[in-house]
Amino acid sequence: MRHRLLTFLAFLPLCAHCPALEASDKAELFPVPVLVEQGHLEVSELHKIFYICLGNPEGKPVMALHGGPGAGSYPRLAQYFDPEKYFIVLHDQRGSGQSVPKGELRENTTKNLVEDIEKLRQYLNLDEMLVFGGSWGSTLALTYAEAYPENVAGMILRGVFLGTTEELEYHYLGNRFFFPKEYYDLLHTLPDRERGAHPDYLHEIITGEDKDLANQAKRALASYELKFMKLHMKDEVVASYVEKMLASDDNSMQSIDLHYVKNRYFLKENQILDDISKLSGIPITIINGRYDMAAPPLSAYRVHQALPSSQLLIVEEAGHSESEEGITAALIKVCAEFE
């Protein structure tokens, strides 16, 4: 191998194939690995994606995919892997992070992002690679693997999201049963409340000409979604993050996210599960928080049921965020043991 140098409401039974992990399990992240290479890769006449390679150039390659859509990559994604054993590749998806043009929605679809992963793999001259992704990163990882199963040596998925209408409706509407204040705060920012907090309407408001209205909706939407990103999300933490986001005057993450939501993630309904048989034979481990309100365990369970050789780990007393102790410990353990 050569290398170029330079992120539903269901009660799921525990079973032999679905071991539970306690949130008290602890493990330490690896230090941020040594930088090997970074730069921009031109993936179309319009887009250049920023990528960064870390760790051991002769190690096992892993493509770590960030969530969002639109969130951008971050060092923690590399810190689950032993830098002596792994060659870790991160990149910012189109319009995200340091990719250019920032916030661009044209030529920004799931198929585009899948092809970007493949172009980056080829550019770095990688053979089969481990694909790692959480939340939207799990959606993209599964979609890429179904398109290019021959290039995937294994998969580690967290907080599985399949991009279905069921999940989408739960995300925007189902969580109001648990976070009514935040939901109605969002609803009350919208001029036409009869339309509800529908993602198409939110996209229209946030990208509209009325900047005051857009900021109110951005603030309320961020507060609503952030509230269910962790099992214990303090109000002051949510408020601090929202203020920083608004102060930066950068709505690229929200606009990209809503762009994908509006277009139903550019996936056919139930596409990932319909094509899941393409992943037969690929080692796959799935980790989900028991009380993940952003990506409830039902989707992870469905993937596991469709791929009986996969391993599903349910982390008790944990929500969606990878920073929760139980989730972090599970990821570190799985990455260390993955062959």
Is the torsion defined by CA of 237, 243, 248, 252 positive or negative? positive
pLDDT at 197: 87
pLDDT at 13 over 60: no
In which band, very low, low, confident or very high, does the pLDDT at 198 lie, cut at 50, 70 and 90? confident
State mean pLDDT over 150-175: 95
pLDDT at 18: 38
Q: Which of helix, strand or coil describes residue 25?
A: coil
pLDDT at 29: 97
Residue recorded with tokens 């034979």 = 281
pLDDT at 243 over 70: yes
pLDDT in tens, 127-147: 999 999 999 999 999 999 999
Q: Give the CA radius of gyration of the chain.
A: 19
Average pLDDT, the chain: 90
State mean pLDDT over 90-102: 97
pLDDT at 7 over 50: no
State mean pLDDT over 240-245: 85
Chain-centre distance for alpha carbon 267: 16
Residues forming the active site: 135, 292, 320
pLDDT at 9 over 50: no
Token pair in block for residue 189: 């920012």
In which band, very low, low, confident or very high, does the pLDDT at 26 lie, cut at 50, 70 and 90? low
| φ, ψ at 231 (rounded to 5°) | -65, -40
pLDDT at 250: 66
Token pair in block for residue 6: 């330079």
Token pair in block for residue 206: 């946030």
Residue recorded with tokens 């190690």 = 59
pLDDT at 15 over 70: no
Q: What is the pTM of this model?
A: 0.90
pLDDT at 97 over 90: yes
pLDDT at 247: 75
Residue 313, H or E segment: strand 311-315
pLDDT in tens, 108-127: 999 999 999 999 999 999 99
State mean pLDDT over 6-29: 42
Q: Where are the domains of the chain?
A: 20-163+268-337, 166-265
Token pair in block for residue 294: 């952003």
Contact 291, 317 (CB under 8 A): yes
pLDDT at 241: 87
Least confident of 66-70, 79-83, 177-181, 196-200: 196-200
Q: Which CATH number fits domain 20-163+268-337: 3.40.50.1260, 3.90.1280.10, 3.40.50.20, 3.40.50.1820?
A: 3.40.50.1820
